[in-house]
Amino acid sequence: MTIERLDDATIDARLQELDGWKREGDTITRSLTFDSFLDAISFINAIADLAERDDHHPEIFNVYNKVDLTLTTHDADGLTQKDFDLAAKIDGEA
């Protein structure tokens, strides 16, 4: 099954529907800051379950109470509906 890359207009429109995500080339990114390290890890664990269910995994970078997320669809060499669907689910956990 081929995953279709989204065009720029669609990407811009979908970004407007998300909270705190921004486009960086062929990725979307979001940074979050939590009250503690344990809160950050709890969030990471919650989104790990979402990502596994969707079989679509973000890049996750964590330092103490800060979590940086990056989404892209490597199979499509860019952004697809999968990225925006997972970003919306992540927003529900934040």
Contact criterion met (CB below 8 Å) for 40 and 34: yes
Identify the structural domains of the chain with CATH numbers, from first to last: 8-93 (3.30.1360.20)
- 72-82 pLDDT per residue, tens: 999 888 999 99
Q: What interhelical angle do 37-54 and 81-93 show, nearest 10?
A: 140
Cα torsion 7, 9, 12, 16 to 10°: value is: -120
Contact criterion met (CB below 8 Å) for 64 and 40: yes
- 17-50 pLDDT per residue, tens: 999 999 999 999 999 999 999 999 999 999 999 9
- Residue 62 CB contacts under 8 Å (≥ 6 apart), including other chains: 40, 41, 44, 68
